[in-house]
Amino acid sequence: MTRSAPPSKTKSRSSVSSSTSASAKSSPERVVVMIPCYNEELTVEKVVTDFRRALPKADIVVFDNNSTDQTAELARRAGARVIFEKRPGKGFVVDAMFRRLEADYYVMVDGDATYSAKDVEKLLAPLRAERADMVVGTRLKQYKEKSFRPLHVLGNRSLTGLVNWIFQTRLGDMMSGYRAMTRDLVKSVPILSGGFEVETELTIRTLERRFVIHEVALPYHERPEGSFSKLRTFHDGFRVAFSILRITRTYKPFFFFGAIGLGFAGLGLGAGWLVVQEYLETQFITHVPLAILATGCMILSFGSVGIGIILNSINQRIAEITHLLREDGHVRP
pLDDT tens, residue by residue, 216-226? 999 888 766 65
pLDDT tens, residue by residue, 190-214? 888 777 778 888 998 898 888 999 9
State yes or no: pLDDT of 115 exceeds 70.
yes
Mean pLDDT of all residues in the chain?
Answer: 83
Same domain, yes or no: 245 and 258: no
Same domain, yes or no: 246 and 290: no
How many structural domains comprise the chain?
Answer: 2
HSE of 194, CA atoms in CB hemisphere, 13 A? 4
Q: Distance between CA atoms of 8 and 331, rounded to whole angstroms?
A: 30
Same domain, yes or no: 173 and 84: yes
State yes or no: pLDDT of 59 exceeds 70.
yes
Strands of the chain, DSSP E: 31-37, 59-64, 81-84, 105-108, 134-138, 179-182, 213-217
- Exposed, middle or buried: residue 33 (CB in 10 Å: 0-12, 13-18, 19+)? buried
Q: How many CB atoms lie within 10 A of CB 281?
A: 8
> Per-residue confidence at 9, pLDDT binned at 50, 70, 90?
very low
State yes or no: pLDDT of 267 exceeds 60.
yes
At 32 the three-state DSSP class reads strand
Same domain, yes or no: 284 and 239: no
Q: Distance between CA atoms of 63 and 108, rounded to whole angstroms?
A: 11
HSE of 326, CA atoms in CB hemisphere, 13 A? 13
Same domain, yes or no: 223 and 295: no
Partner residues linked to 135 by β-bridges: 180, 214
> Per-residue confidence at 246, pLDDT binned at 50, 70, 90?
confident
Residue 11 lies in a domain: no
According to the model, what pLDDT value does residue 194 have?
A: 77
CATH number at residue 123: 3.90.550.10
Which candidate, 6, 99, 4, 80, places its Cα nearest to that of 37? Answer: 80
β-strand 134-138 against 213-217: which pairing, if any?
parallel
Average pLDDT over every residue of 129-133: 96
Lowest mean pLDDT among 36-40, 176-180, 316-320: 316-320
**What angle, 0 to 180 degrees and rounded to 10, lies between the N-to-C axes of helices 152-167 and 198-208?**
20
State yes or no: pLDDT of 319 exceeds 80.
no
Same domain, yes or no: 197 and 296: no
Its pTM stands at 0.72
According to the model, what pLDDT value does residue 323 have?
A: 66
Give the amino acid at 290.
Answer: L
